[in-house]
Chain A
Amino acid sequence: MIAKMAGLRLPVESHPLQAFVSEAMKPILHTVVMSNAVHGYVSQSDKGDLVIGAGIDGYNSYAQRGSAKIVEHCAAAILELFPIFSRVRMNRQWGGIVDVCPDACPVISPTKVEGLYFNCGWGTGGFKATPGSGNVFAHTIAQDKQHELAVPFHIDRFTTGALIDEHGAAGVAH
């Protein structure tokens, strides 16, 4: 949207991403488990509820809700890992909109427009990378050139073809 105002196009599309929270239970899972094989992740919060998620819907959407197909896929993946959770009842479900690049990695980059910088395309990941990426993005803006850690995330990678080969790692919700 902002890119359009500046006359730019971006290699980014918006998709719904869902997550779920179950009823609270006694401690049963002490770490975050994420599987690229069955495509899901699960952890238990301090309150005792399971936090579960999976992938995005394949179609573009700004509707802030996901499809039932993804719910089913996600539940199937978690039960593949933990059959013991088959009787757990879900408390809440929600969908948010994520911006996804073709290589599922973010853009941290100056643009052709002077003084306009983009930090976007964080897609299914990013939450844990926020402090670090904010730091290198601030450097990029202050110096008007890429921080060395942000060099691979330049928007030019879609022109040069030097995409970031981490779709397997970054394409799964985490």
Chain B
Amino acid sequence: MFLIDCPYCKESRDQNEFSPAGEAFIARPQNPEALSDEEWADYVFYRTNHKGDHWEQWVHTAGCRKYFLVKRSTISHEIIQVSTFGEIDSENAS
């Protein structure tokens, strides 16, 4: 169990209020018609499964109900950074 700083509510709240929503920066394909089956499989099912620092999405289910980005260690559960969409994307995420 850990605390998450909601970037919208500006409060540190119990993880129970939030729901995880998967790996971050998985963008919907720009041109779905042109995608091969392999590329679809990669978009829908294949994930990186980081051991270490991991960018992921969370939603403040029992709060503001907004989605945002969290960089969290999957080893220690330490939360390193929290961000709204737009501030950080796959290009400038570290």
Chain A interfacial positions (CB closer than 8 Å to B): 1, 9-14, 57-63, 67-69, 102, 158-161
A9 touches B46 (CB 8 A): yes
B56 touches A12 (CB 8 A): no
Q: Which of B15-23, B25-33, B81-89 forms part of the interface with chain A? A: B15-23
Q: B15: which of A1, A11, A60, A69 is its contact (CB, 8 Å)?
A: A69
Determine if B75 is an interface residue (Cβ-Cβ < 8 Å): yes
B74 touches A67 (CB 8 A): no
User: Secondary structure of the B side of the interface?
Assistant: mixed
Give the distance to chain B from A13, nearest Cβ to Cβ, in Å: 5
Q: How far is the CA of A11 from the CA of B49 in the complex (A)?
A: 9
Give the distance to chain B from A101, nearest Cβ to Cβ, in Å: 8
Q: How far is the CA of A159 from the CA of B48 in the complex (A)?
A: 17
Nearest chain B residue, comparing its CB with the CB of A65: B77
B16 touches A69 (CB 8 A): yes
Q: B74: which of A58, A60, A68, A69 is its contact (CB, 8 Å)?
A: A60
A1 touches B51 (CB 8 A): yes
B76 touches A63 (CB 8 A): yes
Q: A12-B49, A13-B47, A69-B15 are in contact. Are A61 and B41 (CB under 8 A)?
A: no
Chain B interfacial positions (CB closer than 8 Å to A): 1, 15-16, 19-20, 23, 37-38, 40-42, 44-51, 54, 56, 72, 74-77
Q: Which chain A residues border B42 with CB–CB below 8 Å?
A: 9
Nearest 6 A/B pairs, CB to CB: A59-B20, A11-B45, A159-B41, A58-B20, A158-B45, A9-B46
* Contacts A9-B46, A102-B44, A158-B45 known; 11 new A-B pairs at CB < 8 A: A9-B42, A10-B49, A11-B47, A13-B47, A14-B74, A57-B20, A59-B56, A60-B49, A68-B16, A69-B16, A159-B40
A69 touches B1 (CB 8 A): yes
Q: How far is the CA of A13 from the CA of B76 in the complex (A)?
A: 17
Q: How far is the CA of A25 from the CA of B80 in the complex (A)?
A: 45
B77 touches A102 (CB 8 A): no
A63 touches B16 (CB 8 A): no
